[in-house]
Amino acid sequence: MDLARDSSATPIRLVSFASGFTVLALEIVGARMVAPAFGGSIYVWAALLTTTLLSLGVGYAVGGFLSDRFDPRRALEQVVGIAALILLALPFYKSSVASAAASLGVRAGALVTTGLLLGPPLVTLGCVLPLCLGARVRAVDRLGREFGTLSLWSTAGSVLGTLSTGFYLLQWLSLSEILRALAGAMVVCLALVLWSNRRRPGRPRRASALAGYAALVAFVPFEPQVASDGAVTIPSLYGEVRVEDDRRSGHRTLFLDGLPNSRVGLDGRSSESDVVYGLELVTAMRPKLRRVLFIGLGAGRGVEVLWNSHGIVSDVVEIDPSVVRVAREYFQFESQGAVVVGDGRRFCRSTSQCYDAVVLDAFSGDSHPYHLLSAEALEDYRSCLAPDGVLACNLLTYASGERARLRASVAATFRSAFANLSTFNANPRRDSSGVCNLLFFASDGPLDIAPETFSDDSGLASYYRSIVDALAASPTDLPPGVVLTDDHNPADLLGAEAFLDIRRESKPFRVARRRWSIEAVAR
């Protein structure tokens, strides 16, 4: 017998294409499902890739077994139908799984969550390619050619799934809607398989099954949205952007991938932030400051303080358009300067504007965008700085001890590019042995602060008095630092432990620990 030369070739190859599309789309969607509880750190991506590779490997083995043991065409019908059901059910339990696993910590919790959420559908989808091969091949001597053809179709689907999900679907649809669409694609695959098997017995039964699957996709309601007083989530290509009001404390907080980024009053304006006060000190270093560039917007409080208190115009570069939208709609952000959606380094290389100061205050989920901290990045910032301009940077990391490797490396990098550097803990009330906001000020000119520029009764004057000792202090227990470059830049790894500590104190982990303690006492 030879390779099947019937009309089933195209339907089976389309099924292979659709399975490849769904696998990569599901992997990207999986990262977004896990992010609100565990962030988007290197640990989460390692867990995600491990789950994907292991699940697909198991699926290939199971699919090969089914292809040899049973009729591969009938088995393919069952596998594609099961995949559709799992994808349709995912939105209903994804949040519960992540919440339950939060007590395990970021590393183990992310691995368990990705395993439970993505393992079953990926194992099922992994079965598809071997079954498609079994459905097409009836002779060993044509095995290689058909395997190569089906692999090509599957890979083409994976490429399209990656590009369409990453570039478009996440912006247009919610995660639940994308999962429903993927389930619908599996139902279409089931129809293709049934059509290729149309000459086999049992057509009425299989047609009824197809109608049932189609009805489920069409009429099962989306994941119920649990009402949360004063909370809203904005779609974003760069992670979950969430605004939450806490009426008990009187605060409105901007969360990026589940971590607090900015906090103001419920009116969206009033706030007292150590970081904003600290960055405002640049006005005392350069009393004639007139134009500032912010790389990273957040809620926009730094920009507004410079304008309202000092009449300084600031331009802003923010890579996430959703953050700009949230700042304007929920934090009453208004800019007297330009607001550009794009990458900070690229903007600095292309702009003709000269700035008296550049403020680097960018965060990306569970890390600082490492490409913004390299020596080459500092040269990009210098290209749009005035000769004695100031580069200010907000870094969330450890201030001292062996864990302060990111601080030491960033300091070494700044010193390699600028003549003068000043660094201090922006949180005077926080234990310096833990995670804190470190502020770096670098310039080829002097960095002396002129306190006479403060009003005695201003919040900035009070803040300056609280950190004046920290300005003069220099830790002696810092580990050796490396100069960060585009070729060698482990900034995200050096800062990962600090973000793990922050994540452990985030709301999902506090709730999980409290529930774990209650259950332990009950036992």
Neighbours of 450 (CB within 10 A): 11
Query: 325 and 468: one domain?
Result: yes
Closest to 105 in 3D by CA, of 47, 32, 29: 47
Total domains in the fold of the chain: 2
What does the pLDDT read at residue 317? 97
Residue 84 lies inside a defined structural domain of this protein: yes
Answer with the one of 219, 235, 260 that is the final residue of a domain: 219
Indicate if 188 and 278 belong to the same structural domain: no
The amino acid sitting at 14 is L
The average confidence (pLDDT) of the chain is 84
**How far lies 288's CA from each of 336, 337, 454, 462, 463, in Å?**
18, 18, 14, 22, 21
> Residue 138: pLDDT band by 50, 70, 90 thresholds?
low
Residues 70 and 186 in one domain: yes
The answer to the question of residue 30 being in a domain is yes
pLDDT tier at 235, thresholds 50, 70, 90: confident
Give the domain extent around 195: 9-219
**Measured in whole angstroms, how far is the alpha carbon of residue 97 from the centre of its chain?**
19
Note whether 304 and 385 are same-domain residues. Answer: yes
Cα separation values, 229 from 98, 225, 244, 251, Å:
21, 12, 8, 13
Task: Name residue, tokens 């907000």.
Answer: 394
Asked if residue 295 has pLDDT above 90, the reply is yes
Q: State whether 280 and 363 are in the same domain.
A: yes
Q: Is residue 234 included in any domain, yes or no? A: no
Lowest-pLDDT choice from 267-281, 288-302, 494-508 = 494-508
Residues 77 and 159 in one domain: yes
Q: What pLDDT shows up at residue 205?
A: 54
Kindly report the CATH number assigned to the domain that includes residue 394. Answer: 3.40.50.150
Which pLDDT tens digit goes with each residue over 1-23?
Answer: 344 444 568 888 999 999 999 99
Tell how far CA 80 is from the center of its chain: 30
Residues of the chain with pLDDT > 70: what percent?
84
Helix (H, G, I), strand (E, B) or coil at 398: strand
Give the 3-state secondary structure of residue 313.
strand
**Of 178, 199, 219, which residue constitutes the final position of a domain?**
219
In order of 14, 86, 319, 342, 517, the CA distances from 185 in angstroms are: 11, 13, 32, 34, 43
Residue 385 or residue 41, greater confidence: 385
Residue 511 binned pLDDT confidence (cut-offs 50, 70, 90): very low
* 404 and 493, same domain (yes or no): yes
Mean pLDDT of 39-49: 85
- Same domain, residue pair 284 and 173: no
Closest CA to 81 of 193, 204, 249, 227: 193
Report pLDDT for 522: 34
271 — pLDDT class (breaks 50, 70, 90): low
Average pLDDT over residues 332-347: 93
Last residue of a domain, one of 159, 191, 219: 219
464 and 340, same domain (yes or no):
yes
User: For the chain, how many residues are written?
Assistant: 523
Q: What is the pLDDT of residues 53-73, one digit of tens each?
A: 999 999 999 999 999 999 898
Cβ-contact 325, 297 below 8 angstroms: no
CB 440 within 8 A of CB 484: no
* pLDDT at 462 (0 to 100): 82
Tell me if 239 is assigned to some domain: no
